[in-house]
Amino acid sequence: MDIDDDEPNFSQQNSQKKILEVALRETGFEDRIWMTSSFFTMQLHSRTNFLCHMDKVIQHVIKIFASVDYKDVHIAFIERAIKKGKKKIEKKFG
């Protein structure tokens, strides 16, 4: 059975997760680092908590790349995602 080139194998995924975890810690991220293999198998409460943790990670990364106005970038990032979601819904329902 061939491994699809588009999907990293389990060992690569674990290595990438470890690299990212180390990078977050080295750049001062102090919150919990929560990883999952399947968001959709989580209970609703766990999904909500996971999304809150991911938002903290995203904010941390944005602060590194746009340190002066990271809050504005974060808001723009969210607004862009909302617009993309609206466009998908409009396409689907015409």
Q: What is the pLDDT of residues 8-42, one digit of tens each?
A: 576 777 888 899 999 999 999 999 888 888 999 99
- Is residue 19, in this structure, part of any structural domain at all? no
Cα separation values, 81 from 2, 48, 74, 85, 90, Å: 35, 17, 11, 6, 14
Give me the domain span that covers residue 74: 42-94
- Is residue 3, in this structure, part of any structural domain at all? no
- pLDDT attached to residue 8: 56
- Is residue 29, in this structure, part of any structural domain at all? no
pLDDT digits (tens, 9 = 90+) for 62-92: 999 999 999 999 999 999 999 999 998 988 8
Question: Which residues are CB-neighbours of 9 under 8 A, at least 6 positions away?
Answer: 3
- Is residue 56, in this structure, part of any structural domain at all? yes
- pLDDT attached to residue 2: 42
- Is residue 78, in this structure, part of any structural domain at all? yes
CA 91 to chain centre: 25
pLDDT for residue 53 is more than 90:
yes
Structurally, the chain folds into a number of domains equal to 1
- Is residue 65, in this structure, part of any structural domain at all? yes
pTM: 0.76
